[in-house]
Structure 1
Amino acid sequence: MNILVTVGTTAFDELIESIDKLFENDTDVKVVAQTSSSSSYTPKNIDYFEFSSSFQSYIDNADLIVTHAGAGSVYSMLENGKKLVVVPNLTRADNHQIELAKYVQDKNFAISCFDLTEIQTCIYKAKETSFSSYESEKFFGHSVIRELLK
């Protein structure tokens, strides 16, 4: 199984470190992680990169994606139609990542993992789960916004 872990632009060292340690000796799983430039943890057992102009190729090659619960990352991964594990960063001051993680799980778009000690279980559960397909809704409110700005 090929797993892509992505944290976007904000460091989420707890997630990267958990994955790095859990899959240290697992020869059936290949993990590649996209880390943040502000990360302080350096993976020892998995491949990683900070930025790639060919990021889409990592998505395409993944059987499953583990992502932080940032809206941009979650929705773009859902639009790619990949199996997904969403992990809210619980050290953040705001709760929007928790809310989004609950939403995608309630809609059966992804598995959400609220406890990093359960990340491996969440990954294997996601591998076996049939998810509802996500359809992005096109935004047609441009004329309304234009009128409001007059």
Structure 2
Amino acid sequence: MGGAANGIESRKMVFVTVGTTCFDALIKAVDSQHVKEELSRKGYTDLLIQMGRGTYVPSKFSGEDGSLAVDYFTFSPSIADYLRSASLIISHAGSGSIFETLRLGKPLIVVVNEDLMDNHQIELAEELADRKHLFCARPQTLHQTIEVMDLKSLIPYPPGDAVPVAKLIDNFLGFPAD
């Protein structure tokens, strides 16, 4: 039974988002051979990258040879559909992106941007990782995080809408909106 329906059903997409920021280090990391190999090894078939304001352009690949298919775009009016259809999300540490993904119950790897000054986003990401709601990585450790991640170890984030509070905190601290 090798029809097209089987191929579609067995697709597993990884969605990468940097929101409205420029986070070329994350885009370069997900475009690296190490990360793409680890994602393939974990059974993912598609990598869709939302690259925001970045200047690094990842390589597109059709995946026709059975390897990871890669595509990208800069912005979208809404990423909600991408988040819903993804099997795994890799995101910058913006609180809006984090809580939107956790609310959907999707597995999440948050990659912190260590180049930001007074980066309170690192504290949020590390706290949520300590509570086993997500995985936390740096661009240079992303492939290792993917290699050792066990999605069954994640604990669902308790329901509740933390986005308004998170946006107020981000605004107060001077972070740009997601």
Do the two structures share a fold, i.e. TM-score over 0.5? yes
Q: 1:53 to 1:130 in 2, by over 3 A?
A: same
Out of 144, 154, 157, the residue aligned to residue 121 of structure 1 is 144
Matches of 2:38 and 2:78, distance apart in 1 = 28
Give the conservation status (yes or no) of the 8 Å contact 1:77–1:84: yes
- Determine if the alignment matches structure 1 residue 39 to structure 2 residue 63: no
Residue 117 (structure 1) shift? 2.5
Cα deviation, 1:21-50, whole Å, max 9, x if unaligned, reads: 2317975531101111x2111111431112
Matches of 1:129 and 1:75, distance apart in 2 = 19
Give the conservation status (yes or no) of the 8 Å contact 2:107–2:151: no
Q: 1:55 to 1:95 in 2, by over 3 A?
A: closer
Matches of 1:101 and 1:31, distance apart in 2 = 22
Scaled by the length of structure 2, the TM-score of the pair is 0.69
Larger CA deviation: 79-88 vs 25-34: 25-34
Name the structure 1 match of 2:31: 20
Name the structure 2 match of 1:109: 133
Q: Which amino acid aligns with 1:40?
A: T
- Determine if the alignment matches structure 1 residue 133 to structure 2 residue 133: no
Name the structure 2 match of 1:146: none
- Unaligned stretches of 5+ residues in structure 1: 140-150
SS at the partner of 2:32? helix
Identity over the aligned pairs, expressed in percent?
A: 36
Q: Which amino acid aligns with 1:39?
A: G
Scaled by the length of structure 1, the TM-score of the pair is 0.80
Cα deviation, 1:75-121, whole Å, max 9, x if unaligned, reads: 1111110000011110001221210111111111001013x222122
Name the structure 2 match of 1:5: 16
Q: 1:44 to 1:78 in 2, by over 3 A?
A: same
The CA RMSD measured in Å over matched residues stands at: 2.2
Give the conservation status (yes or no) of the 8 Å contact 1:83–1:127: no
Q: 1:55 to 1:127 in 2, by over 3 A?
A: farther
Matches of 2:159 and 2:14, distance apart in 1 = 24
Q: Which amino acid aligns with 2:50?
A: Q
Give the conservation status (yes or no) of the 8 Å contact 1:84–1:126: no
Q: 1:54 to 1:70 in 2, by over 3 A?
A: closer
